[in-house]
Amino acid sequence: MSSHLRQMLLVMSVGIVALLLPAPVRAQDETPPSPTITITESTEDGEHLLIATVMLDGEPLEGVEVIFSAVRSFGLLELGSEETFDDGTAAVTFPEGLPGDAQGRFDVQASVEESDDYGASSGTASFHSDVSVAPVRQMFPEALWSPRPLWPLVAVIGVLLAGVWSTYGVVVVHLLKIHRKESPS
Partner 1 sequence: MKPIEHTIRGRIAGEVVETMRPFTPRGQFWIGTLIVIALWGAFAYAWQLYKGLVVTSMRDYVSWGTYMSNFVFFIGISHAGTLISAILRVTHAEWRRPITRMAEAITIFALVVGASMVIIDMGRPDRIMNVIIHARLQSPILWDVCSITTYLAGSLLYLYVAMIPDMALMATVAEKRNLRPWRVKLYKMLSIGFVPTPDQIRRLDISLATMAVIIIPVAVSVHTVVSWVFSMTLRPGWHSTIFGPYFVIGAIYSGTAAIIFAMALFQKAYHLEKYLTREHFHKLGLLLLALSIIYIYFTLCEYLTAWYGGVSVEQRLVQLLMGAGRYGPLFLAMALSGLFLPPLLIGLPGRWKFQRLITAAVLVNIVMWLKRHLIIVPTMETPYIPATAAQQHPAYFPSWVELSITFAAFAVFALLYMFFSKVFPILSITEIAEPLEEITAGHETGTDDRTTIMVEGAVS
139 binds partner 1 (CB under 8 A): no
Integer Cα distance of 155 and 38 in angstroms = 53
User: What is the distance in angstroms between the CA of the first residue and the CA of the last residue of the chain?
Assistant: 68
Q: Which residues between 154 and 173 bind partner 1 (CB under 8 A)? A: 154, 157, 160-161, 164-165, 167-168, 170-172
Contacts of 133 (CB under 8 A, 6+ apart): 99, 100, 101, 102
Q: Does 153 bind partner 1 (CB under 8 A)?
A: yes
Nearer to partner 1, 57 or 142 (CB): 142
Nearer to partner 1, 31 or 146 (CB): 146
- # of chain residues touching partner 1 (CB under 8 A): 26
Residue 97 has φ and ψ, to the nearest 5°, of 85, -5
Binding of residue 74 to partner 1 (CB under 8 A): no
Smallest separation, CB 139 to partner 1 (Å): 17
Q: Minimum CB separation from partner 1 for residue 169, in Å?
A: 10
Tell me whether residue 16 or residue 155 sits nearer to partner 1 (CB atom). Answer: 155
Minimum CB separation from partner 1 for residue 174, in Å? Answer: 5
In the complex with partner 1, which residue's Cβ is closer, 4 or 181?
181
Residue closer to partner 1 by CB (options 137, 179) is 179
Minimum distance from residue 75 beta carbon to partner 1 (Å)? 18
Residue ranges that bind partner 1, judged by CB under 8 A: 143-146, 149-150, 153-154, 157, 160-161, 164-165, 167-168, 170-172, 174-175, 177-179, 181-183
